[in-house]
Structure 1
Amino acid sequence: MRFSLICLLGLAIFSLARASSEEHLSEILRRLEKLENENKMKDEKIAYLLEKTKYCPQGGIEAQTQISPRTGRLLSNPIASGLLPAFHARLSRDLTNIGLGHPIVFDLEIVDTTHSYEPADGIFTVPVTGIYVFNWNLMTKETSGMDTTLTSSQGPLGDGFVSNADVWDNGGNLVMAKLTKGAHVWLKKVSSYGSFLHERFSTFSGYLLTETD
């Protein structure tokens, strides 16, 4: 009888120790999974920030017009190929912490008939001399308006504004400009306020209206 009681007590102690060990192991696994997820999120954030800053000009006015190297996608003579330059791009995700004077990178290319827009840095390279039409629309969230300028290597082309309202708001502009072949065009933030753009409703477009000498 005593031996049976000792055996039962031993089994109970073993079961409790095993349960405690399994619970401890489960807790360790949960912590490891949490750390892994946190590290993954940090890695993604670092990669995103590196990609953003890679194409951001640094310094003063002259630096703001620096352009990252083109990818060589431009066609030598798109008009002769029967293609009229036109592009349309939007954000693939919400943008936050947009730097003053930095290009706004619309990284999701929807249309680009002559491979003249670069989604890696948000810059359009004029493929032929002519009169171009550009349009942009930006959506901001509450109390986060934005003041923007469409600029080029030939100088500013036009301004756009989204009100710093208590509700979600959108705004932009439509600009027509005569540009020479090889000119660069991009949109940038020009006031300190505003740090958010909604992905689906923030777009940037342009097309050739007519070729000129």
Structure 2
Amino acid sequence: MVACFGLFSIHQKGAAEDFSPNPYLLAILNCASWIYYGIVHTDSLLVLTINGFGLVIEILYVAFYLFYATKKQRLSVVKKFIPGALCFVLLVLLLVFLPNPKSQTGIKVDPESGKGIAIGVICVLANIAMYVSPCDILKQVCETKSVEYMQLPLIVCGFMNGGIWLAYALLKFDAYILASNSTGCLFSLIQIGFYVYYYYKYPQSKNSKITDEKADAGKKIGDGKAYGGKVADMV
């Protein structure tokens, strides 16, 4: 639910601007992966229900983003998501048709079997990708010295979420949940460090875009007056 902070900002501005949809897209694939994990592993009701709820929420987030996105941004989302979704479906189908060990019956799998390990590795990679996805904005932060488009609440709650699942994995000793969320906590800490550094090192930079836009608007008005042109009201 913390992603609502970023979506509220998009709603206020009336445009998606430079906000990245990647965290939401990868969260969908991550939740779908862990839903499958919960279905085929015993005693994974908590994993199944939480990620089922998360999948619905993330789909709503993407729909909200697309509503405010430009045509170019919408095409970009489609180009990113469709190949990833197809690859995920193909992997799941491949795993479904892989034979179970003779000791296993039904859809449940042995976590130590080849099939169980393959499912676990896919979930780990999907989870790490979700945690890493907000890092795609770090290059822009370094270039502009602005943290305007870093979604700090999302990053902080990602760190807290990783910590909670890390504790769960230690109590139950689930190697896959442990590996993915310990790595996720590390990447979240790196992003928090970036935000803190640039926020305090360049305290005015977060307003630089607004300032530049106002300066450009003022220049256009000045040019219009100089040439006797008709200048529209600037809000």
Query: Rg: which structure is higher?
Result: 1
Q: Quick one: higher RCO (CA 8 Å, sep 6+), 1 or 2?
A: 1
- Higher fraction of strand: 1
- Higher fraction of helix: 2
TM over 0.5: no
- TM value normalised by structure 2: 0.22
